[in-house]
Structure 1
Amino acid sequence: MYEDYRLHKERIYHATVSIARSITVDWEREIHGVTAGLQVLTASEELSRGDLRAFHAKARQIAQLQNVDSYVLVDGRRMQILNTAHDSTRPAVRASAPEEALNRVFSYRTVEQTDLFKTTTNRYLIAISVPVVLDGEVRYSLQAGISPDAIGKILGRQALGEGWVAALLDSQGIIAGRTRDGAQFIGQPAVSSLRRAVIARAEDTLESTTKEGTPVFTAFTHTSDGKWAVAVGAPSNVLSEELTASLLKIILAGAALIGLGVALAAWMARAIERSITALIEPAVDLGRGAAFVAPPTHFVETAALGAALTETSHMLARAQQMAYHDPLTGLCNRVLFQEVANQVLAAAARANRPVAILAIDLDHFKDVNDTQGHAMGDAVLKAVAQRMKSAFRASDVIARFGGDEFFVLMDDANAEIALSAGDGLVKILSEQYPGVTAKVSASVGISVFPIDGENLDSLLAEADAALYAAKSAGRSRALRRTTSP
């Protein structure tokens, strides 16, 4: 049982590390998307001809399509001459962003990300700044501000268990976003043990506490540039309460059996021995991960031992379900998908057969959450999962990575089969959802092993790139970027 305890603890740590890495990927993707949007705006015709009123209107429209609080234009005097959060006629005011970041933008033409800071209106933001070069010189700095509320929503795209918490920390270990009670703790340092670890190491696990004082198993990792850290905490009682109770029951039952064996006569001892022996084989199966089925017995003590082992079997099954499946839809999660995919790709390489990966993202899903609430959004995600199960083969692996992002692994499927499956999926996911007013559809990106990549990471990246190409081409379609069969 101690080994089960240790393995269960390792599995919780593995799950927290995996979720932290997944959230980090989501955050980096968000940063890259915001940066790309800024760079597109810097090349706008309205800005090049100095029509700031027209540029203000255009920037305000684009801000509504991204997870940004506002776009801000700062001139060489470090004065804020345009802010999409305010009317275009507002007089220039001193820029709120840290001056050292602005200086680097104007002096070195670099893209800068600030730590969390307070604006002149006493609001917390982080800012991404890019240079605006006109006539060969840096004329302005264009900034996108991202609020802690928006960061919290990005962190919440990953499905977290009850009582779990995730946070984004800046380079100083300050909390910039949180999935729970963000308003209370934004702008505060992380707990000291976590803050020291985040500043000292790129990735690790530790036992710590939340800001509320709850003991947690914590994992953290950094973005590729080392600027941001994502920390995920799982409450310690997930492990300690259930396993401690089970261990205590087994110890008490074992002690009772020993005392009874000493007191009873030889014939009774032999009968008890037979009952205990009957538990050995299913207990060994339990150690191998199989379900435990207690054999029938006439003795209270062996029945208690069997009940304790049965309860332990159920507890381990729940832990496995939590570690490998999405709690909302029941689909595989990222951890299980990656394990299965790596095995399938290894077998496909030996057998010289193709494997297809489909990346799926729902179109206009955000409108459902914004207009009808997250409960309706969850209902749509469950319906999507059921439709996907009906659309694919029993051998295909369907996973939800978080939010409205899904992936499908199709073994022995070439590009033609994958595109046909993708087209069919777009059709069924675009059908009306009961009670939903928004027109939800789906975009699908496809990659095929080994043509589009020879390992899982490259295949996922290519499928993701094809997905974004499908969205850029008008959404509601399946697309593969390469034309090879």
Structure 2
Amino acid sequence: MPNRIRVRRSVSLRRALRMLVIFSVLPTVLICAWLAYSNYRLQREGFEQQTVLLARAIQAEIERELAAIESGLKVMATAPELARGDLKAFHQHATNNVLAPDMALNYVLTDAKGLQVLNTLFPFGAALPKAGTPAQLQQVFAQRETVLTDLFKGVTTQAHIMAVGVPVVVNDKVVYSLNMGLTPDYINRLIAQRPLPDGWLIAVLDRSRTIVGRSRDPLKFIGQLVGLRVQQAMDGNSSGFLESVTKDNVPVFTGFSTSDRWGWTVVAAAPQRSLYDHLFAQLAQVLLGLVLALGLGFWLARRAGAKVMSSVQQLNDTALALGRGEDVSPPSLELQEAQAVGTAMLQAADAMRKVKFFAQHDALTELPNRLLFDELAQRSILSAMRHHGELALLAMDLDGFKKVNDTLGHSIGDEVLKTVAQRIGYTIRASDVAARIGGDEFIVLLDGVSQSDALQTAERLVHALCQPYYGVSVPLGVSIGLAMYPHHGSDLKSLMLGADSAMYAAKSAGKGQTHTAKPQ
């Protein structure tokens, strides 16, 4: 039998070259995939920080508004009509009260048994509802402190409302709870004031985790419990981040923050599609680069690998700098895919800077907001306490500003507020702190000053803010209340209350002047 020729399995050169190119490009493919994943992780972390920071910023705005309502109610609770038991006169006073005309549904006075003794929705002397007062308002009598109720249905209106109650103290005894009814529309208006990226969602929850405000379809979902996954994430946590699905079945990245004072929670949700769409676009770019690399061959693949490694190193350096909170500059990248990641890093860094800034500053005047002011003021008080120093707190409220908005429009009112912020900055020292805490309310911290120096600064502020404003024919001025540490209070809360009371006294005395708080 003749010998057979052993035919070894042959491989075509074309196929070998194709395999060589494939294996040469494989590291590039893996690197591009890693870059895409790194970009995904960075953007996801950016969503986490943005949603939580946004939730905290809106929470701070709501707390500021509620603090203003609480202050106004406490002033009403000291009305002389209540002290002498003249409920008819107080009914007239409450009916005409303009404390919160765009937010208050009504004012209700309840006794220790939870029975209504006065309701501005009813004429004085008319029969009042015998039930419907939330049990939470009984804490006003038990704890002698302000209470914010959960959402409930009003007996009279049969609509969803919340209530803020403060104690009415006569002869050192809580005799009534003075309550203001708030509608969810008030919360929705606060949410609507902040512009949101496309598809983002804001929801406000009460202690029972019921939706009391929502930026999208509020009428459809107010009064419903938030989703179970969000409830579970909130258990035992004051803030956090998770993936969830909205009530209208939209997958989202969700950040939340709960108020230590009121127990309410703000939830900020960003649609997952905004991240995944970008990720899929990057994957398409990676695949396109792979096809080109396979077409050009091993040499181009090797060069691309070198460029990728250089880009990865620069992106790593940029990512580490970003993680340390340092300012990052655009890395010099040659690969389009890597440039997209670098651009995303820069965008994330810029977005985080902006969110952090506007979480601590007023968007209109760019002055510190109440949250940042409280932090700086607490530090100054602690320093004054250690060094036995003094500091002053000036609470300021513009006189006649409402007429500017009513007659000239809110755009002119905004320009006035910007001018007020500039004049305050020109008048005080660089070391002093000025903040806008609401509408036309400002507050100034003067560190290391005596009472006489603080009064001189206050008078300069009165003079500066009473000057004419460009394009505004309405006369404007300012009333200022001065409180000194430690003479008028030993902590920020007592100083704020003293300055507010003095400011209201200045308004009552004729406006356009400064009053000093009463000593503790």
User: Would you call these one fold, judging by a TM-score over 0.5?
Assistant: yes
Identity of aligned residues (%): 31
Alignment-derived partner of residue 357 in structure 2:
324
Higher relative contact order (CA 8 A, sep 6+): 2
Query: Does residue 428 of the first structure (1) align with residue 467 of the second (2)?
Result: no
The partner residue of 1:190 within 201, 207, 226 is: 226
Alignment-derived partner of residue 469 in structure 1:
502
Per-residue CA shift, 1:314-340, capped at 9, x if unaligned? 441232022213433334445665677
- Contact kept, 8 Å, 1:360 with 1:444, in 2: the verdict is yes
Offset at residue 6 of structure 1 (A): 6.6
Secondary structure (helix, strand or coil) at the match of 2:209 reads coil
Offset at residue 83 of structure 1 (A): 3.6
Alignment of 1:252-271 (within 5 A): 263-264=299-300
Query: Does residue 221 of the first structure (1) align with residue 258 of the second (2)?
Result: yes
Query: Does residue 57 of the first structure (1) align with residue 96 of the second (2)?
Result: no
Pick closer, same or farther for the CA change 1:102–1:285 going to 2, 3 Å.
Answer: closer
Offset at residue 192 of structure 1 (A): 3.5
Gaps of 5+ in 2: 1-37
Secondary structure (helix, strand or coil) at the match of 1:43 reads helix
Q: CA RMSD in A?
A: 5.6
- Contact kept, 8 Å, 1:20 with 1:219, in 2: the verdict is no
How many residue pairs get aligned? The number is: 467
Alignment-derived partner of residue 76 in structure 2:
37
Pick closer, same or farther for the CA change 1:430–1:139 going to 2, 3 Å.
Answer: closer
Query: Does residue 290 of the first structure (1) align with residue 327 of the second (2)?
Result: yes
Query: Does residue 94 of the first structure (1) align with residue 129 of the second (2)?
Result: yes
Per-residue CA shift, 1:190-224, capped at 9, x if unaligned? 333344555x4462323345545552533232453
Aligned AA (1:122): Q
Pick closer, same or farther for the CA change 1:193–1:460 going to 2, 3 Å.
Answer: same
Query: Does residue 147 of the first structure (1) align with residue 169 of the second (2)?
Result: no
Pick closer, same or farther for the CA change 1:315–1:399 going to 2, 3 Å.
Answer: farther
- Contact kept, 8 Å, 1:23 with 1:158, in 2: the verdict is no
Offset at residue 102 of structure 1 (A): 8.6
TM-score (norm 2): 0.65
The partner residue of 1:70 within 106, 125, 128 is: 106
Secondary structure (helix, strand or coil) at the match of 1:473 reads helix
Offset at residue 19 of structure 1 (A): 4.2
Aligned AA (1:230): T
Secondary structure (helix, strand or coil) at the match of 2:104 reads coil
- Contact kept, 8 Å, 2:160 with 2:223, in 1: the verdict is yes
Alignment-derived partner of residue 384 in structure 1:
420
Per-residue CA shift, 1:91-124, capped at 9, x if unaligned? 4243453375799999999987654222333333
Offset at residue 396 of structure 1 (A): 5.0
Query: Does residue 8 of the first structure (1) align with residue 46 of the second (2)?
Result: yes
The partner residue of 1:27 within 45, 52, 66 is: 66
Pick closer, same or farther for the CA change 1:36–1:290 going to 2, 3 Å.
Answer: same
What CA distance in whole angstroms lies between the structure 2 residues aligned with 1:136 and 1:355?
Answer: 31
Secondary structure (helix, strand or coil) at the match of 2:225 reads coil
Secondary structure (helix, strand or coil) at the match of 1:85 reads coil
- Contact kept, 8 Å, 2:211 with 2:225, in 1: the verdict is yes
What CA distance in whole angstroms lies between the structure 2 residues aligned with 1:202 and 1:68?
Answer: 32
What CA distance in whole angstroms lies between the structure 1 residues aligned with 2:304 and 2:137?
Answer: 83
More displaced, 364-373 or 71-80? 71-80
What CA distance in whole angstroms lies between the structure 2 residues aligned with 1:337 and 1:129?
Answer: 26
Larger Rg: 2
Pick closer, same or farther for the CA change 1:61–1:251 going to 2, 3 Å.
Answer: same
- Contact kept, 8 Å, 2:72 with 2:99, in 1: the verdict is no
Offset at residue 436 of structure 1 (A): 5.3
Offset at residue 74 of structure 1 (A): 6.6
Alignment of 1:298-317 (within 5 A): 301-302=334-335, 305=338, 309-310=342-343, 312-317=345-350
Offset at residue 400 of structure 1 (A): 3.8
Pick closer, same or farther for the CA change 1:249–1:363 going to 2, 3 Å.
Answer: farther
Secondary structure (helix, strand or coil) at the match of 1:94 reads coil
Secondary structure (helix, strand or coil) at the match of 2:66 reads helix
What CA distance in whole angstroms lies between the structure 1 residues aligned with 2:233 and 2:49?
Answer: 21
Per-residue CA shift, 1:14-60, capped at 9, x if unaligned? 45335425533542552354255245366254x44x7x3x4432331
Per-residue CA shift, 1:154-180, capped at 9, x if unaligned? x45985655666555444333344566
More displaced, 36-45 or 251-260? 251-260
Offset at residue 426 of structure 1 (A): 3.3
What CA distance in whole angstroms lies between the structure 1 residues aligned with 2:44 and 2:223?
Answer: 36
TM-score (norm 1): 0.69
What CA distance in whole angstroms lies between the structure 1 residues aligned with 2:517 and 2:195?
Answer: 33
